[in-house]
């Protein structure tokens, strides 16, 4: 197989949802826009819809014939891109399995285990190497440096420098900057989640990422914003992995975020710095606690 058609399958599934809500589909370019794919893919989807007798398609007319059934959808396993699959497998291995620092990583073995070609694994490792968890020996293997205490400390050190600076920039953003509106929306989400924390605490990870990314973006510095990728991936998998006291930890973090948001709103740099420091410190502690 040369290329997975995951783009097609994922867009197909999303298009099925659109189809469920209307009696006739819009033009090809418009669909492409909405689904974020090219017209080639849109046309492939429409052809398949026609085959499945979901629509009657004649040039500009795309009339819906019937509602989609559950078995019209492609199974979700088939809609993930190869890169996502590799990332998940790899993170599971290094976080859960025997992740001793110094271990060698073998491209071929990884590829076989994941059931994919070496090229994709190799490209993943190259991309992943910027996270500082692995290192390449040219013409030879990769070395796992491990998710160690040092790693966490180095990561949080930089994170704190960057986030403090970003928060300082944030407070001085002009009032008509769209970030303020976004901050307000995020605040609302925080309050909603906190009101129903027992049921919703698992959703915190995503909101956490959204909030901190917004803060980092205020730096207008691509290196600072890009660095947030590293933090996000570490915390993302960290949340999946370490579930002890999750409810309580997340509730506390939500409270801290709210204080932090309020401080940003005050436009007072000193208040913002203080709230930021307080939250970052507890985030750091949480992370460190999870490392043996």
Interface residue with DNA among 72, 87, 107, 203 (CB under 7 A) is: 107
- H-type alpha helices, 21-117: 28-35, 39-51, 82-91, 107-114
CA-to-CA distance for 151 and 158, rounded, in angstroms?
A: 11
Residue with tokens 């859960």: 96
Token code pair at residue 227: 């660095």
Q: Strand 61-64 and strand 142-144: pairing?
A: unpaired
Place of tokens 């199974």: 75
Whichever of 137 and 222 has its CB closer to DNA, that residue is 137
In whole angstroms, what is the distance from residue 79 CA to residue 82 CA? 9
Q: Which of residues 17, 69, 78, 83 is near DNA by CB under 7 A?
A: 83
161 is a contact residue toward a second copy (CB under 8 A): yes
Element containing residue 134 per DSSP (H, E): strand 134-136
Q: Which of residues 127-156 bind a second copy (CB under 8 A)?
A: 127, 130, 132, 139, 151, 154-155
Query: Site for DNA (CB under 7 A): which residue of 40, 172, 220, 248?
Result: 40
Q: From the list a second copy, DNA, none, pick the one residue 161 interacts with, judged by a Cβ distance below 5 to 8 Å according to partner type.
A: a second copy
- 272: tokens are 């913002």
Work out how close the CB of 72 gets to a second copy at its nearest, in angstroms, rounded to a whole number.
24
Tell whether residue 120 is a contact of DNA (CB under 7 A).
yes
Residues 166-225 that bind DNA (CB under 7 A): none
| Residue numbers at the binding site for a second copy (CB under 8 A) | 7, 119, 122-123, 126-127, 130, 132, 139, 151, 154-155, 157-158, 161, 165, 220-224, 226-227, 230
């Amino acid at each position: 197989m040369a290329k997975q058609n995951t783009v097609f399958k994922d867009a197909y599934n999303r298009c099925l949802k659109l189809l469920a809500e209307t009696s006739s589909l819009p033009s090809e370019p418009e669909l492409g826009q909405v689904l974020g794919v090219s017209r080639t893919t849109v046309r492939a989807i429409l052809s398949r819809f026609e085959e499945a007798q979901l629509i009657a398609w004649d040039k500009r007319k795309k009339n819906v014939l019937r509602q989609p059934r559950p078995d019209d959808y492609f199974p979700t396993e088939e809609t993930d891109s190869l890169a996502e699959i590799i990332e998940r497998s790899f993170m599971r291995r290094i976080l859960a399995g025997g992740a001793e620092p110094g271990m060698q990583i073998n491209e071929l073995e990884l590829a076989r285990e994941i059931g994919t070609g070496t090229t994709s694994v190799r490209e993943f490792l190259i991309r992943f190497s910027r996270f500082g968890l692995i290192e390449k020996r040219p013409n030879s293997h990769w070395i796992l440096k491990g998710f160690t205490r040092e790693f966490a400390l180095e990561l949080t050190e930089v994170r704190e420098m960057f986030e403090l600076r970003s928060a300082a920039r944030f407070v001085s953003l002009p009032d008509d900057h769209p970030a303020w509106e976004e901050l307000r929306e995020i605040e609302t989400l925080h309050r909603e989640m906190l009101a129903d924390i027992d049921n919703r605490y698992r959703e915190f990870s995503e909101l956490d990422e959204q909030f901190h990314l917004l803060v980092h973006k205020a730096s207008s510095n691509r290196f600072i914003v890009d660095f947030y990728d590293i933090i996000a991936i570490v915390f993302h998998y960290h949340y999946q992995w370490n579930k002890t006291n999750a409810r309580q930890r997340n509730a506390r973090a939500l409270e801290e975020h709210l204080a932090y948001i309020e401080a940003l709103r005050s436009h007072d740099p000193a208040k913002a710095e203080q709230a930021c420091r307080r939250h970052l410190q507890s985030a750091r502690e949480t992370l460190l606690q999870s490392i043996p």
